[in-house]
Amino acid sequence: MWVLSVVAMADDNITVNTSSSSSSSTEQKVVNIGALLTVNSVIGRSVKPAIIAAVDDVNSDPSILGGTHLNLILQDTNCSGFIGTIEALELMEKNVVATIGPQSSTIAHVISHVINELHSRVYVVHVNPDTGVKIFKIAKTLGMMESGYVWITTDWLPAILDSSDPPDSDIVAHLQGVVSLRQHTPDSDLKKKFAGRWKNMNLKQPASFNSRLTKAQSFSKRFLTTNFTGATGEVRFDSDKDRVHPAYDIVNIVGTGLRTVGYWSKSFGLSVNQPEKPKTNRLNDVKRLYSVIWPGETSVKPRGWVFPNNGIPLRIGVPFRHSYKEVVTKDVRSPLGVRGYSVDVFEAAVSLLPYPVPRKYVLYGDGLRNPSYTNLVADVADNTFDAVVGDVTITTNRTRIVDFTQPYMESGLVIVVPVKKSKTSQWAFLKPFSFQMWLVTGGFFLLVGFVVWILEHRFNHEFRGPPSQQVITILWFSFSTMFFSHRENTVSTLGRFVLLLWLFVVLIINSSYTASLTSILTVQQLTPGIEGIDGLISSNDPIGIQDGSFAYSYLVQELNIAESRIRYLKDETCYINALRLGPKHGGVAAIVDELPYVELLMTHTKCEFRIVGREFTKSGWGFVSFFWFSVEV
């Protein structure tokens, strides 16, 4: 079966870039043809090499297609009606003139049905200039100059618009978004001079021009041999009476006039550079145009086709949330009726599909409290909704009754607790060292003073005198070394060695003490009551969870936490108040919620709460459906 359509590349596609030595020109014309086959089948294993061989035979003989090169795009449907159907729908997005296959009659019926139902929206207009503008006036009244349509004209339209300076505003108003071709004339002094004369010419007396044209027609043979450069550039014709080096401006009608978006020439094809520029300046040139403003004042390239508008739209349930409205909620100002991060992700994913998805968003819940997501998922299984777009966590129980897309947001349950600020007492200067450390340090001070006295008193008169004076000297010398302010000099070698070692130890003691005391006095130590999941389970304090969250079933069924400990919280304000009150004053000791919500909560608080432990579940948010409809995100 042959189907006239277009083919898109999928993950398992096979692209056969057939080529031959006789067709290596960079200007070679390429025609794409497609094939829909189950490669790993009896038919596929025999047809695939036959098609490739046939394409190679055609490409190797330039006399068959006159130098045109066939490019085969082979898609493996993998014996799946679903995959083949999706590929068939994607065929209409690529420049393929025909498709061989498919092997499945189911896919063939889908292709034929789609092609028959598609709506005749890309129009190329080549008409008489005297009546051509009327087409666009009628098209505008029929709503055919809006977003989704493509209008392309030949050079008759720029000729009309260029005949008046400025262009007639009434005419331009009906042509917004039209793309057209205009004969390209290189910029030159001669052209500028002629343009100035043109404005001053008396257009009411065209007889002289007609007479000149009549004379020119009588000299057609001589005219074809003309070779000169005039106001329009080089004037020369080939043996087929075609102009040598033809080129066109590609113009876009926007606002009050024409806007050049690029050029086409026989030598260089499409380009944003003027055709007369030297070839050496085109090394980095690519075959592209500047952006086009299409009908409907949009820069998004139209598909050029749409499904009829009488299809039944998908019924998509959307949670009408009371808290964390940044994720998803109602929006009366939006054309969709809903807004939020989840809606934005879904809309962006749908816009990438090669076919339209008619849809209608239906709010679920009253907005006073978050709805039950378990019940919302069950409504998809009961066919109340076709899909759900929102922050729906993918859990094992839910996957048993509905399908999910790939996760578009990683998530997991975490524990949030309030932090307690420790108070600094007037005895904080004693806290850097423990009681035992203070005793050991004091003992070493006395020991070092006694050792130095033994080594010095026989030679050093500063360590002599009455016994009471020597005791005072020992004590003074010992504790003054802590501040490096001792006045007694050591004269013995051993005394100096002992003192050197002791001063190094004193330096370490001072540094450690200073650092610890600074930390105590300047840093508020944050000490939560619960440190992780184990502390949460072993505690008997109440736990807060979000309305509609799956956290309830997880805590009760998986972690065996008593139901009496669970407290439902409506919104962020309830979260904050419950954590501030604590379990002794009617609040909660901790909140268990998903990480994205907790991160939003933290943006509204100033380090008043913190996450303890790690995520103790690994899941994600996905979109819900009960059939093969899916969106890659």
3-state helix/strand/coil string of 308-355: CCCCCCEEEEEECCCCCCCCCEECCCCCCCEECHHHHHHHHHHHCCCC
- Name 111's Cβ contacts closer than 8 Å, sequence gap at least 6: 3, 5, 88, 91, 99, 102
- C-alpha 138/C-alpha 226 separation (Å) is 43
- C-alpha 592/C-alpha 556 separation (Å) is 12
Give the CATH number of domain 314-410; options: 3.40.190.10, 3.40.50.10860, 3.40.50.150, 3.90.740.10. 3.40.190.10
**Residue 205, pLDDT above cutoff 90:** no
Indicate the range of 13-17, 421-425, 568-572 predicted with least confidence.
13-17
> What pLDDT, on a 0 to 100 scale, did the predictor assign at position 3?
32
- C-alpha 420/C-alpha 414 separation (Å) is 19
Of 306, 285, 303, 283, which Cα lies nearest the Cα of 294? 303
- C-alpha 625/C-alpha 83 separation (Å) is 18
> What pLDDT, on a 0 to 100 scale, did the predictor assign at position 101?
76
Q: Span 195-224, mean pLDDT?
A: 58
Kindly state the DSSP code that residue 391 receives in the 8-state scheme: E
**Residue 97, pLDDT above cutoff 80:** no
- Name 64's Cβ contacts closer than 8 Å, sequence gap at least 6: 58
Please provide the CATH number assigned to the domain covering 105-186+232-278+286-306. 3.40.50.2300
- Do the beta carbons of residue 232 and residue 155 sit within 8 Å? no
Of 163, 145, 155, which Cα lies nearest the Cα of 254? 145
Of 537, 539, 554, which Cα lies nearest the Cα of 411? 554
Residue 556: both structure tokens together = 């009760």
Element containing residue 70 per DSSP (H, E): strand 69-76
Q: Span 525-530, mean pLDDT?
A: 59
> What pLDDT, on a 0 to 100 scale, did the predictor assign at position 627?
52
Give the CATH number of domain 533-619; options: 1.10.10, 3.30.930, 3.40.190, 1.10.3470. 3.40.190
> What pLDDT, on a 0 to 100 scale, did the predictor assign at position 15?
40
Residue located via tokens 């606002």:
255
Please provide the CATH number assigned to the domain covering 30-104+212-231. 3.40.50.2300
Assign 468 to helix, strand or coil: helix
* Number of CB atoms found within 10 A of residue 8's CB: 19
Residue 192: both structure tokens together = 């500028």
Helix crossing, 467-480 with 435-456: angle to 10°?
Answer: 130
Would you place residue 30 in the very low, low, confident or very high pLDDT band (cuts 50, 70, 90)? confident
**Angle CA 214–217–218, to nearest 5:** 95
> What pLDDT, on a 0 to 100 scale, did the predictor assign at position 119?
61
**Residue 210, pLDDT above cutoff 60:** no
**Residue 178, pLDDT above cutoff 60:** yes
Residue 472: both structure tokens together = 């005072």
For residues 206 and 496, the model is more confident at 496
- C-alpha 421/C-alpha 528 separation (Å) is 9
> What pLDDT, on a 0 to 100 scale, did the predictor assign at position 57?
87
> What pLDDT, on a 0 to 100 scale, did the predictor assign at position 373?
92
Q: What is the largest CA-CA distance in the chain?
A: 144
**Residue 386, pLDDT above cutoff 80:** yes
Q: Residue 201: CA atoms inside 13 Å, Cβ hemisphere, count?
A: 14
